[in-house]
Amino acid sequence: MSQQFPSSCASGPLAGLRVIEFAGIGPGPFACMLLVDMGAEVVRVDRPGARVGDSSDIIGRGRKTVWLDLKEETDRAQVMDLLEQADVLVEGFRPGVMERLGLGPQEVARRNPKLVYGRMTGWGQDGPLAQAAGHDINYIAITGALAAIGENGRSPVPPLNLVGDYGGGSLYLVVGILAAVLEARRSGAGQVVDAAICDGVLSLMSLFQMQSQRGRHKEERGSNVLDGGAPYYTVYETSDRGWVSLGPIEPKFFALLCEKVGVPQELRDAQSDRPRWPALRDALAAIFRTRTRADWCALLEGTDVCFAPVLPLSEAAQHPHIRARQALVEVDGVLQAAPAPRFSRTPSSAQHVPQPQITSPADVLARWRGGAPDDPPRGLA
């Protein structure tokens, strides 16, 4: 059963941290979801009339929303009042947009010198492509990541938007924001966090850059250990047209796989012998086609073979391990991922799904300026 999380109040290690999020799409909202999960109070600034209260908007959970027109001087003044009381700003516009609105880092710093100014873009704040439109697929394309993913001899395969938007974007933005908040607590001065997806993806590719320089990484897709090229680190189809995954990289784990599934004796020493990889792959493919996915789970799951069934989202929620860890939770009737990572003393909690009510800037400021006695201490103090 999924766990029913409370949604009435924030908890977590960032309780008391105040964040102003300028509404956008992709990595910025996901980064703010992570901050909300860890206890930060995020107020989203959105255009008047923007849709709110979509219960299926998991990534928008836990926010308060204010409607302000950034093209109107009076509304921009209210935004600046909010920023004066905030710890963090998050925006994902093209470079120069916030400056043209009079809300750039220099202008904001004059009102709140301690504010951390988080900027999320694909290309970065400068460079030849800084003003060009783009999406996840483009950012991972120029960094070498997309070219490395897919089957040998076939076209590259976009890995959803996990590597660019969320891996190279959101996660690096969150790390940068938290580091800058810690530093601001010591120095009393905020700074700009320039989080570019291209930069983050290049960082994620560090292992493969290293292997390439050591002559251990081939640029042909499906030719390396971690890209499906190795017959012991890939997926196989079962008799019922399901799929299972294998990953016994260590020799002792590969030996256990051979023993349990009955790999022919003449191929049990072929793990590191690339010329024999095709024969080993054919043998494993033939073996896994003899039983159903459930049969293979009964035999191999939980062993050191490094095995797991390949599950679609609809089945993942019912897997015993996911259920035992309550890794999917139900909030306001909506099933969604529980906050990650987990904290032993200041646990995070999944907050309510987006609410239909609009919060006024005055209400936010009254609370933030008032410093009510029951308010939690400021995050990362």
Active site residue ranges = 135, 165
Query: Is residue 262 left, alpha or beta, with left meaning phi > 0 and alpha meaning psi from -120 to 50?
Result: left
Q: Distance (Å, rounded) from C-alpha 334 to C-alpha 322?
A: 17
- Strands in 88-91's sheet, in edge-to-edge order, are 64-67, 41-46, 18-22, 88-91, 116-121, 192-196
Could you write out the three-class secondary structure of 77-133? HHHHHHHHCCCEEEECCCCCHHHHCCCCHHHHHHHCCCCEEEEEECCCCCCCCCCCC
Q: Which residues contact 216 (CB under 8 A, 6 or more apart)?
A: none
Q: Distance (Å, rounded) from C-alpha 276 to C-alpha 13?
A: 51
Residue 237 token pair: 């189809």
Q: Distance (Å, rounded) from C-alpha 6 to C-alpha 352?
A: 8
Q: Distance (Å, rounded) from C-alpha 380 to C-alpha 301?
A: 41
With H, G, I as helix, E, B as strand and everything else as coil, classify residue 361.
helix
Helix (H) or strand (E) holding 243: strand 243-246
